[in-house]
Structure 1
Amino acid sequence: MAADCPCGRVDAAGRALIHGECCGRYLADFAGTPASDAEALMRSRYSAFVLERADYLLATWHASTRPTELGFEAGVKWLGLEVKQHQPIDATHAEVEFVARQRDRSGRAVRLHERSRFVREDGRWYYVDGDLK
């Protein structure tokens, strides 16, 4: 049986989307399948964090703010994602507000609430930066 997508997106009937039909297609084919909008990119980046796909995270980070490397904290368990708002600013800029929940290796629950900024260049969306709330 195919796994549900870590991003938690559901279809019109409220059923969880399968990873391969949701974020998995972006992670599997970065060059040929760009995210359709800033929200889809943000969701795919959350899935990449869950799956520890630093290659995808770095490739979808805008060059102006991209770190040189990316590591993952051992023992973190991602618990879910809630997209609060997707706001297109214009054809090449958008913001997405989200809450991502995780449990750290000590068992403490952590909420990451961020308003992220995205830019579209050459038909592809990139994460630029964000403000924690």
Structure 2
Amino acid sequence: MENSKCYCDTGLHFDDCCGLYLKNNLKAPTALALMRSRFSAYVIKDADYLLATTHSSERKYYSKEDILNWATANEWLRLEIISSTETTVAFKAYFLDEHKVPQTHYEFSTFKQENNVWYYLEGKFE
């Protein structure tokens, strides 16, 4: 994985981008950085990270098994950031479903910061 481009489409190397949060346990400094790292977590199938970065009030709606199944069933291709603010990110995630049919997941995500740590709160899908 060293020196390979990050999955989140910044053009940076994984180790200098999402790898900082996924491998080195640093906390994402912004909602956008967390969103990017969560996309990369889907690519590498890191369900623990996805669950840990979901806000505690929302975790009961997710299971590690369901997250892992969703991450594994799809081949994640590319992330496109549409817009972002301090607490929101609109994005498109491009992937191939289990039948290798191209899909686009559009989401408007809301994030919340607690004790200087960003968490995924909720997403509205289109």
- TM-score normalised to structure 2 length: 0.90
Q: What per-residue deviation string (whole Å, max 9, x for no partner) do you get for residues 56-114 of structure 1?
A: 101100011112323224452111000011112xxxxx010000000012111110000
The residue that corresponds to 1:40 in the other structure is 33
**What's the RMSD between the two structures over aligned residues?**
1.3
Gaps of 5+ in 2: none
Structure 1 residues 124 and 78: CA distance shift in structure 2, 3 A: same
The residue that corresponds to 1:2 in the other structure is 3
1:96 and 2:89 aligned: yes
- The 8 Å contact of residues 8 and 40 in structure 2, kept in 1 or not, is answered as yes
SS of match in other structure, 1:45 = helix
The residue that corresponds to 2:68 in the other structure is 71
- The 8 Å contact of residues 54 and 120 in structure 2, kept in 1 or not, is answered as yes
Q: Share of identical aligned residues, percent?
A: 38
The residue that corresponds to 1:19 in the other structure is 14
Amino acid at match of 1:71: L
Rounded Cα–Cα distance in structure 2 between residues aligned with 1:101 and 1:109: 7
Rounded Cα–Cα distance in structure 2 between residues aligned with 1:72 and 1:7: 20
Rounded Cα–Cα distance in structure 2 between residues aligned with 1:52 and 1:101: 16
Rounded Cα–Cα distance in structure 2 between residues aligned with 1:75 and 1:117: 25
Rounded Cα–Cα distance in structure 2 between residues aligned with 1:45 and 1:75: 16
SS of match in other structure, 1:49 = helix
- TM-score normalised to structure 1 length: 0.85
Amino acid at match of 1:19: F
The structure 1 segments of at least 4 consecutive aligned residues displaced by more than 2 Å after TM superposition are 68-75
Structure 1 residues 61 and 110: CA distance shift in structure 2, 3 A: same
1:80 and 2:81 aligned: no
The count of residues paired between Structure 1 and Structure 2 equals: 120
Rounded Cα–Cα distance in structure 2 between residues aligned with 1:72 and 1:22: 25
